[in-house]
């Protein structure tokens, strides 16, 4: 393992060993050989019971700040157990799709091509977080009775069908999924995968996933976990030599993130 910016970069074996961080919250790593095309094949996974652990959406405009924060700054600001990147955004940092935080709509413009939403804190019975397939649900913001909403695109659905085009584009990946026991999982790759390969790895892993959505990828695919003495961080790679160097200095600003918080 190596220390990057004060956070430990872990490597694991092929067997998934879960570490309990708190009641209803676990962390593990798995590996994706031979499907990783660049960098570490490690995949970090945060698994949570949505009835015991809370997910919250954050956007930098809520903080009064003049700029987006990087992932470590977001964790320090929110004091959350874990923070990961939300969906995609425009060059001016507006969110690309529906985005709600604490019952307030930060973006009411549904993206017509994004057919998934991470939702949490339901207004009514059944308050736990979910991954919604919007291909069979209304997408108007007033029809989504959830206080926390982040729209993105489906990776694979409950039938096992891949819901993205096959492409040779390689990037770090952030995926949110549900498993057979209705637990939520957040998975962030340490290295570069194609979307189709990453979906295959997750579907054939011991995680027992039923369906999954993809959040933003590439440099923006980032995760920080901090609980007691335990620290983990993964920062998206800068794959182009013409772009910026890899490493801590390459942490990219994130206008929107999702936090994992204990009651």
Which tokens hold the place of 259? Answer: 């936090």
Sequence-distant (≥ 6) Cβ neighbours of residue 94 within 8 angstroms = 107, 255
Q: Which long-range contacts (CB under 8 A, 24 or more apart) does 50-53 make?
A: 50/120, 50/128, 50/129, 50/130, 50/182, 50/183, 50/184, 51/24, 51/127, 51/128, 52/23, 52/24, 52/25, 52/263, 53/22, 53/24, 53/25, 53/81, 53/260, 53/261, 53/262, 53/263
Provide the token pair at 219.
């440099």
**pLDDT on residue 248:** 52
Q: What is the DSSP string of 14-79?
A: SS---EEEETTEEEEEEE-TTT--BS--EEEEEEE-TTTSEEEEEEGGGGT-SSPBPHHHHHHHH-
In whole angstroms, give the CA distance from residue 208 to residue 239. Answer: 31
Query: 143 by DSSP, 3-state: which?
Result: helix
Tens digit of each residue's pLDDT, the chain (263 residues): 333 444 443 343 457 899 999 999 999 999 999 999 999 999 999 999 999 999 999 999 999 878 999 999 999 999 999 999 999 999 999 999 999 999 999 999 999 999 999 999 998 766 689 999 999 887 888 888 999 999 999 999 999 999 999 999 999 999 999 999 999 999 999 999 999 999 999 999 999 999 999 999 999 999 999 999 999 999 988 665 544 444 554 578 999 999 999 98
Q: And the tokens for 100?
A: 């709600």
């Amino acid at each position: 393992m190596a220390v990057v910016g004060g956070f430990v970069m872990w490597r694991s074996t092929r067997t998934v060993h879960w570490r309990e961080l708190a009641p209803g919250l676990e962390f593990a790593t798995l590996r994706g050989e031979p499907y990783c095309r660049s960098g570490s094949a490690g995949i970090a996974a945060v698994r949570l019971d949505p009835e015991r652990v809370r997910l919250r959406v954050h956007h930098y405009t809520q903080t009064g700040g003049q700029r987006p924060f990087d992932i470590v700054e977001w964790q320090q600001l929110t004091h959350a157990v874990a923070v990961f990147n939300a969906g995609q955004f425009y060059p001016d940092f507006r969110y690309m799709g529906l985005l709600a935080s604490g019952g307030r709509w930060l973006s009411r413009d549904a993206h017509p091509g994004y057919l998934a939403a991470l939702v949490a804190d339901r207004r009514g019975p059944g308050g736990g977080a979910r991954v919604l397939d919007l291909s069979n649900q209304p997408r108007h913001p007033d029809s989504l009775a959830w206080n926390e909403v982040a729209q993105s695109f489906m990776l694979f659905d409950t039938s096992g069908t891949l819901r993205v085009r096959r492409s040779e584009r390689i990037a770090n990946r952030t995926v949110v999924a549900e498993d057979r026991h209705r637990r939520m999982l957040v998975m962030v790759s340490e290295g570069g995968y194609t979307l189709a390969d990453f979906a295959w790895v997750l579907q054939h892993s011991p995680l027992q996933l039923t369906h999954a959505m993809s959040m933003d990828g590439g440099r923006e695919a980032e995760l920080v976990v901090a609980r007691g003495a335990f620290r983990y961080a993964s920062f998206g790679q800068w794959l182009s030599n013409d772009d910026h160097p890899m490493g801590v200095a390459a942490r990219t600003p994130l206008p929107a993130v999702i936090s994992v918080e204990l009651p």
